A and B are shown apart, each in its own frame.
Chain A
Amino acid sequence: MFILKLLIRNAFRHKLRTALTVVGVAIAIIAFGLLRTLVGVWYMGAERSSATRLVARNAISLIFPLPISYKERISQVQGVKEVSYGNWFGGIYIDEKHFFANYAVEPKTYLDLYPEIVLPPAEKTAFIRDRKGCIVGQKLADRYGWKIGDIITLRGTIFPGQWEFVLRGIYRGAEKSTEERALLFHWDYLNETLRKTAPQRADQVGFYMIGVANPDLAAQVAVEVDAMFKNSLAETMTETERAFHMGFIAMTSAIVVAIQIVSYVVIAIIMIVAANTMAMTARERIAEYATLKTLGFGAFHIAAIVFGESLFIAMTGGLLGVLLTFPGADWIETELSQYFPSFSVSPSTVYLDLLASLMIGAVAGVFPTWRGATIRIAEGLRRIG
């Protein structure tokens, strides 16, 4: 009780110094938490992706297409329930700053394979019927104030030209992780235009989405599809959607690793700063600790007072940081919405935050605690004069 009272009062003795340390720890914890969340979000697409969906693409690279004629043959493989296909369109709305994902897909099969894209039935029918129709996610529609019936014009990059679409539906994601900032339109519209303007690029797709009856069949189906097109002009590479995403993440893994390292470096830096502050504080109080020892208090009492103060300051900063991480993540979710479908702080990030604060307090406190606990009284008292 007395120790608690003393360590808390000690903590508030140098208000500015303590406030700066608390704020420093809080900022470090916010940075740590947001960076961890970022890494988590990076992997989330892969983790949440379906195990009953396969992606087939050109074995050489994502940027090479596959012939549309593969569709029938893939459909006949044992275990395949449904096949859809599409192209990454890469169209630009207004200018590059307004980036969002847009694909040309075969609407009916695509929506079948992606039940997480939730559309009102009337809008769904309207979209499937209108060859120039498109659908967008709720967040994208909100961002530009689009309403059903609006004309949306994209400037093609991979497929040059001005492309006009009629907005037929606004979808919601069934899960929080579902991308609500994409635009989907008819692959047929793209293909027919290409037939007229660039016939050599027509009748080709960027990817096939293959729905399998159950997850156990996925591996077998992938092997069979790839075997079927072996030694053909365009060999396929078929993998689960998860593996597909992981492959994409692998390309960016250096960045992810860098972010992870930075998140730990932030903690290490604040540890050193806090340790320096605590050492300075303890040095100033050596005579007080010596006085307490003179009165009969033991090394354990001194250790509890010094270490407790360090933990108290670090945990105060840590809790403040955790509390501020949530509004920070919300802010990122709205401001940087085009990059992250969702940006929510997971419980494990909160635990890691608290663990990190505890570590900061412990590391910062260990040296002063040892000094305070082992100081010889006669020496400590001499520091006063």
Chain B
Amino acid sequence: MSSGAPPIVVIKDLNKSYRRGTQIIPVLNSITFSIDEGEFLALMGPSGSGKSTLLNLIAGIDKPDSGLVSVGGVDITSLNEAELARWRAANVGFIFQFYNLLPVLTAYENVELPLLLTPLSRRERREHVETALQVVNLTDRMDHYPGQLSGGQQQRVAIARAIVPDPEILVADEPTGDLDKTSAKEILELMERLVHELGKTIIMVTHDPRAAEKAHIVRNLEKGVLNNVHS
């Protein structure tokens, strides 16, 4: 499994709990693990076990109580809000269960969103957006609004949006959770291609055993503790 290169994600002694009133709910207990570059990791576990929480910590949209999260050599727990935002925009692509496209923007405009924060010119942005839409095979639908697309197509647009700034890692929280079997299969094959052809690292939370099959490694989170299932 290890090729000698340092892992892209390193997590050490990670703790996270939520406060609900006076009650403290521990979610993650001293999690330690790492992910190699180019890995396709599936995170499984019962509902409420903290999968989304862990994913959010790795992606830099939530802060741990203690512990280290290092991504691509950067200790993201030490970044402030604005630094994190900039870091996310450049380094992480997000794929959500419900696609999270802006309904008032066309497929093209949705994919263009992350590039609006870069110094790229309009023409350069157009090239990037078209390339990303080619990867997900949706160039013919770029002027459609999300409401005019099927679930699978919307998720492909979301994937195009995730890869358009060329991030190293992609995080996906139940990307097939809202899709029928055929569309789910399509999305999983697309994600496999992103790993194999573009060398992306993917961390995917899923309940779907078929989705987990596509992954190289499956890890199981239960009661805040991580177990290796197979690799």
Contact = CB atoms under 8 A, between A and B. Distances in A.
Interface of A: 2, 6, 9-10, 13, 287-288, 291-298, 376-378, 381, 384-385
A381 B52 CA distance: 10
B161 to A, nearest CB: 8
8 contacts: A6-B104, A291-B94, A294-B94, A295-B114, A295-B117, A378-B53, A384-B97, A385-B97
Closest 5 CB pairs of A and B: A296-B89, A9-B104, A377-B61, A291-B100, A378-B62
Given A295-B88, A298-B82, A385-B97, A378 B102 contact: no
A381 B86 CA distance: 19
Interface string B77-94: 000001001101110001
Given A2-B116, A295-B89, A377-B62, A384 B96 contact: yes
A385 B53 CA distance: 15
B47 to A, nearest CB: 11
Interface string B6-40: 00000000000000000000000000000000000
B15 to A, nearest CB: 16
Given A294-B61, A295-B113, A288 B102 contact: yes
Q: Could you say which of A296, A297, A384 has the most chain B C-beta atoms within 10 Å of its C-beta?
A: A296
Interface of B: 53, 56, 59, 61-62, 82, 85-86, 88-90, 94, 96-98, 100, 102-105, 113-114, 116-117, 161
Given A9-B104, A13-B103, A295-B117, 16 more contacts: A6-B102, A6-B104, A6-B105, A288-B100, A288-B102, A292-B113, A294-B59, A295-B88, A295-B113, A297-B85, A298-B82, A376-B62, A378-B53, A381-B61, A384-B97, A385-B97
A376 B100 CA distance: 16
A288 B98 CA distance: 11
Tell me if B's interface is mostly helix, strand, loop or mixed: helix
Contacts of A6: 102, 104-105
B86 A378 contact: no
A381 B174 CA distance: 13
B44 to A, nearest CB: 18
A283 to B, nearest CB: 16
A287 B61 contact: no
Contacts of B113: 292, 295
B167 to A, nearest CB: 11
Nearest to A6: B104
A292 B98 CA distance: 14
A298 B84 CA distance: 10
Contacts of B114: 295-296
Q: Provide the main secondary structure of the chain A interface.
A: helix
Contact of B88 (A294, A381, A384, A385): A294
A384 B117 contact: no
A295 B110 CA distance: 11
B98 A298 contact: no
Contacts of B161: 295
Contacts of A376: 62
Contact of A378 (B61, B82, B88): B61
Contact of A385 (B85, B98, B116): B98
A227 B79 CA distance: 86
Given A2-B116, A295-B94, A296-B114, A287 B100 contact: yes
A207 B166 CA distance: 90
B4 to A, nearest CB: 32
Contacts of B98: 384-385
A289 to B, nearest CB: 10
A309 to B, nearest CB: 11
Contacts of A10: 104
Contacts of A377: 56, 61-62
Which residue among A10, A298, A376, A381 has the maximum number of chain B CB atoms within 10 Å of its CB? Answer: A381
A248 to B, nearest CB: 57
A378 B56 contact: yes
Nearest to B56: A378
Contact of B117 (A297, A378, A381): A297
A298 B89 CA distance: 11
Contacts of A381: 61, 96, 100
Between A293, A298, A385, the greatest number of chain B beta carbons within 10 A of the residue's beta carbon is seen for A385
Contacts of B90: 296
Contacts of A287: 100
Contacts of B59: 294
A296 B86 contact: yes
Nearest to A298: B85
Contacts of B104: 6, 9-10, 13
A352 B61 CA distance: 45
A291 B114 CA distance: 11
